[in-house]
Amino acid sequence: MNGNPARPSRRPAVEHAAWIFYAIAALGSTIGQIWVGVQNPPWPDTLPWWWRAAFVAPFAIVIDLGGAVTAAFADWRQRLGEAAYGWRILSAATVTVGVTTNIVGHADVAYLAVVFGGLGVFAYAIWLMHSAARRRDALRASGKIADTAPVYGLAQWWREPAVTRRARSLALAQQLPLHQSLDTARQQLRDDKRRSALATHVETLIRSRHDDPVRADIAATTLDLDAVAAALTAQADVPGWAHVIGADLLPPTPPDREAHPDVKRETAAVAGPMPPADVLRRVPQDQASYDRWRLLWAELKADPDIALAAFAQRHGISLRQVQWIRRTGASGLLDSPLTLIDRVAELAGSNGHGPHQPSSAS
């Protein structure tokens, strides 16, 4: 594309080589036609061959030069926006005459027919492609044709033809690189599909508000359904819906069969579900660690949408411990200033077992 830094240094050398090739090919084709003109016409036997060559050389040169001149005229008029059919047909006809002369005139020697005829065909084909490339470059530099799009490859076209077509248009219109144009095209197609489906539902809703089918048609036709769909998309509360749906996807809490019976009775009235036994065993029994859990739970409860990983990193604890604190706090077991073991002892004493006394050493 336009940003290729190597093109200015390589292109002149290539074009110089092309002009050298044209000169050699044209000279070879002209020699072949002169050879035919020297041998085939019924010249007098007394006329030397160099006189014959001098007589036919202008006609051979005119034929080869005429093909190049008419092709150049065609290229010039095409750069101005014309089709130039006349110049192109005349150029092709002139080259056909020269190639036919070489092939038919050297029909008795296949090698000479192939060499001289092939030189003319090969040189003319390369000239046409070369002039077409120069014409496109000139038109592109003047802004009359679009710049070239990235090359996406056959595999990409085969996998995602619709995406690749959209990406190619975006690359030409917005000068996007290959991967960015593909990403933008995929996003646009997803948005178009969603907006089209939403517009269909909006139309159905609008029609349902009118009993008269004519008024329903007027209402549905008057409104820009795509604009309504875009406005609805902009107003959608995506985080709110994600929060609601995520709450419904939480796994059920397994039944706790290993907790102490007194703990079950003490926590029967709490709002949250009972945490499993492996979590209950990790609730701190010393007052200092328990108070720290209560402080952390209060912070979690104040900001329920906080990222647990960031919370764990902030307080220097593991993510698993944060999950334990949240499950224990949600069950209500961190609401009391007393540790869990103290509340069990207090509950046992209130049931007639007496105050909790530590066992003495024997």
Q: From 232, 278, 227, select the one nearest 256 (Cα to Cα).
A: 278
pLDDT digit string, tens, across residues 72-129: 888 888 888 788 889 889 888 888 888 888 888 888 888 888 888 888 888 888 888 8
Note whether 319 and 308 are within 8 A (CB).
yes
DSSP 352: I
Six-digit token string for 293? 């859990």
Q: Taking the chain, what is the end-to-end CA distance rounded to the nearest angstrom?
A: 93
Average predicted confidence (pLDDT) for the chain = 78
Q: How far apart are CA 76 and CA 95, in angstroms?
A: 19
Six-digit token string for 281? 């065993």
DSSP 252: P
- The residues, any chain, with a CB within 8 Å of residue 218's CB and separated by 6 or more, are none
Counting DSSP H helices and E strands in the chain, the numbers are: 16, 0
Asked whether the predicted pLDDT for residue 259 surpasses 60, the reply is no
Q: What share of the chain is helix, strand, coil (3-state, %, to 5)?
A: 70, 0, 30
- The residues, any chain, with a CB within 8 Å of residue 242's CB and separated by 6 or more, are none
| pLDDT interval class at 4 (50, 70, 90) | very low
pLDDT digit string, tens, across residues 184-233: 999 999 988 988 888 888 888 888 888 888 888 888 888 888 888 888 88
| 356 Rama class: left (phi>0) / alpha (psi -120 to 50) / beta | beta
Note whether 53 and 37 are within 8 A (CB).
yes
- The residues, any chain, with a CB within 8 Å of residue 348's CB and separated by 6 or more, are 262, 356
Six-digit token string for 88? 């192109």
Asked whether the predicted pLDDT for residue 266 surpasses 80, the reply is no
Residue type, 50: W
pLDDT digit string, tens, across residues 300-357: 888 877 888 888 888 888 888 888 888 888 877 788 888 877 776 676 665 554 444 4
Q: How far apart are CA 41 and CA 307, in angstroms?
A: 98
Element (DSSP H or E) covering residue 31: helix 7-39
Number of C-beta neighbours around residue 270 at 10 A: 13
| pLDDT interval class at 42 (50, 70, 90) | confident
Note whether 98 and 67 are within 8 A (CB).
yes
Q: How far apart are CA 45 and CA 39, in angstroms?
A: 11
Q: Look at residue 164 in the predicted model and tell me its pLDDT.
A: 92
Q: How far apart are CA 17 and CA 12, in angstroms?
A: 9
pTM beyond 0.75, yes or no: no
